[in-house]
Structure 1
Amino acid sequence: MSRPTVLIPGPMNKTVLTGIAENFDVIRLWEADDPDALLAERAKDITAVATGGTTIDGAFLDRLPALQLVASFGVGYDKIDAAAAAERGVIVTNTPGVLDDEVADTALGLLLMTARELSRAERYLRAGSWPERGYPLTKATLSGRTMGILGLGRIGEAIAHRAEAFGISIAYHNRHPKDVAYRYYPTLLELATAVDILMIVIPGGDETRHLVNTEILQALGPDGILINVARGTVVDEEALVEALHSNTILSAGLDVFEHEPKVHPGLLDLDNAVLLPHVGSATTPTRNAMGQLVVDNLTTWYTTGAPLTPVHESTALVQNLHN
């Protein structure tokens, strides 16, 4: 019996490549001399795609008539048109859960660095300025603050639990309230007005593009701290640069950017912005766990017909298969 064929459009985590090769016929498209010709030749054989960031839209899906599953490496899947996939009967999976703690740790690290100017203070020391005079007192403290979490999902709750240990009060905005002890605000504007830390943990995509704009930043106010560990597209970067430059908000800590890996040059010039190169889940153990979940989603799909972590656009498809 022939093994199922899995297409890998671009380079991926070694755990993914090794795990898939053990059980599937693999097409490593990025290594082909003529990727388009190879895809056309093998399209009818391909029943799954494993991807770590390739854009997969309706046109791409239409090139693969036998496709059943797209297994994505990462929690965010905004480069995959999951709705278009569902319309074609194709299930999309992602890798939630295994990176929650790592991203939450990064979020709190960014908050500490931003509020207490830790990276700025280190640069001061390295520049040899300490013998001349001590580093100036920072304007901000975390004591007595309220954090508003935009997107209280798994990662958002992990961040909330950590923030509570710092004595920070928690509020949140989701589409719908959850059964939690934290205060719920029905609009983002109301949340931003009520808090002095805005933590962004929602998915990217057209629905959330530039949700954090000039109005939201003005509502956050001059003592406000913005932290983004979600997707750069959620924030209007032009508005953020202006807000930081004019002290409309106090500071920002960013692990993601609107056009990454390009970073807005205005951010690079600002001392009240802490910038990281999208390292939220970037540890070897976590990335390997994410890779293994990609492999496990593929394996369980072909052995049981039920992938482990389908995205919400694919939930109805999975349910219909088992009704």
Structure 2
Amino acid sequence: MTTRPLVLKAAKLPGEIASALSASLDVLELPEDDGEIAALLQTCGSRVRGLAVRKRQIRAELLDRLPALEIVASYSAGLENVDTEHCRQRGITVTNTSHILAEEVANLTVMHCLAVTRQLVRAHDFVRSEAWTRGQFPLTHSLSGMEVGIIGLGHIGKAIARRLEVMGARVSYYGPRKKPVELPYFDSPEALAEATQMLVASCPLSDATRGLVSREVIAALGSEGYLVNISRGPIVDETALIEALRAERLAGAALDVFENEPHVPEALRMHPSVILTPHIGSGTEETRRQMGLSMVTSLKTALGA
């Protein structure tokens, strides 16, 4: 009888996805307890060929106890929880689902861009409180014609750019290298911020991007500028952002991610020019299902299952 590839599941997965994973692969759950992990790996670590992950930290110490490992497949887009450099050195394939969730995250991003420039939450409260009966809502700003800079032009950044251009925004970008696209490129976040009225952070979190939207970048964006972050919280200097908002050195911010989520500073939660959502960029049933199935397909393809 042919032995099915063995996969270690280091992720909490929806029932349908867990079932799809075990339909053609042998699956073992990675325990939380260090002692239980050691016992499991001593018994079968040498046979593990695949690793299914979501938010769990996957470091070199664990990877080195899996000598037959061929692939780490992430349910998520971000890979900051995986030691990708160690995987590269070992020749281990690493996959994520950024190509699956890009369109949905881009949809939410456009909603954030509109919500913060048109002050949709304030307008909602204006009607609900009956303030409309006492006067008109103030004029806001148009996204059409606005100079918008995107930090990170990967799957998600490109999907955002397409939508913004359709809406009439003038899009430019920054990244570690120029891409073969017909968009203006800036060689630093500061230069991009100086040239635009809105910055959208859509780059992955890494040592190179942690704090990339710094105090200097926020200052360059200026008092009429907007910041939108749908990538990872630590990419933005949250302290500098709060200070700029308090001093009215920034017009507003729209944030789906935070430095220490789910804990969000009161200064952001209560600021009238800040739009907040609870890290829901890919948070639809349809997208999450496709993300899970994509992860399963990556494992099955790599392991010949």
The alignment's TM-score, normalised by the length of structure 1, stands at 0.88
Aligned pairs (5 A) from 1:143-158: 143-158=144-159
Any conservation in 2 of the 1:107–1:159 contact (CA below 8 Å)?
A: yes
Percent of aligned pairs with the same amino acid: 38
Deviates more, 1:222-231 or 1:149-158: 149-158
1:179 matched residue in structure 2: 180
Rounded to whole Å, the distance in 1 between the matches of 2:126 and 2:265 is 24
Deviates more, 1:14-23 or 1:228-237: 14-23
Rounded to whole Å, the distance in 2 between the matches of 1:82 and 1:42 is 23
Aligned pairs (5 A) from 1:65-76: 65-76=67-78
Deviates more, 1:7-16 or 1:146-155: 7-16
Rounded to whole Å, the distance in 2 between the matches of 1:241 and 1:157 is 28
1:237 matched residue in structure 2: 238
1:13 matched residue in structure 2: 14
Deviates more, 1:168-177 or 1:206-215: 168-177
5+ residue gaps, structure 1: 305-323
Any conservation in 2 of the 1:205–1:233 contact (CA below 8 Å)?
A: no
1:57 matched residue in structure 2: 59
Rounded to whole Å, the distance in 1 between the matches of 2:252 and 2:231 is 17
2:130 matched residue in structure 1: 129
Rounded to whole Å, the distance in 1 between the matches of 2:135 and 2:42 is 65
Rounded to whole Å, the distance in 1 between the matches of 2:218 and 2:132 is 38
Deviates more, 1:173-182 or 1:52-61: 173-182
User: Aligned in 2, Cα 1:32/1:203: closer, same or farther, shift over 3 Å?
Assistant: closer
Across the aligned residues of Structure 1 and Structure 2, the Cα RMSD in angstroms comes to 2.0
2:43 matched residue in structure 1: 41
Instruction: Give how far 1:132 is off.
Output: 4.5
Rounded to whole Å, the distance in 1 between the matches of 2:250 and 2:32 is 47
Aligned pairs (5 A) from 1:1-323: 1-30=2-31, 35-36=36-37, 37-126=39-128, 128-130=129-131, 132-134=133-135, 136-303=137-304
Instruction: Give how far 1:181 is off.
Output: 2.1
Rounded to whole Å, the distance in 1 between the matches of 2:89 and 2:96 is 18
5+ residue gaps, structure 2: none
Instruction: Give how far 1:44 is off.
Output: 2.1
Rounded to whole Å, the distance in 2 between the matches of 1:258 and 1:175 is 23
Instruction: Give how far 1:138 is off.
Output: 4.1
Instruction: Give how far 1:236 is off.
Output: 0.6
Rounded to whole Å, the distance in 2 between the matches of 1:7 and 1:123 is 49
Structure 1 runs, 4 residues or longer, greater than 6 Å off: 31-34
Rounded to whole Å, the distance in 2 between the matches of 1:134 and 1:301 is 63
Rounded to whole Å, the distance in 2 between the matches of 1:25 and 1:99 is 27
Tell me the number of residue pairs that the alignment of Structure 1 and Structure 2 aligns. Answer: 303
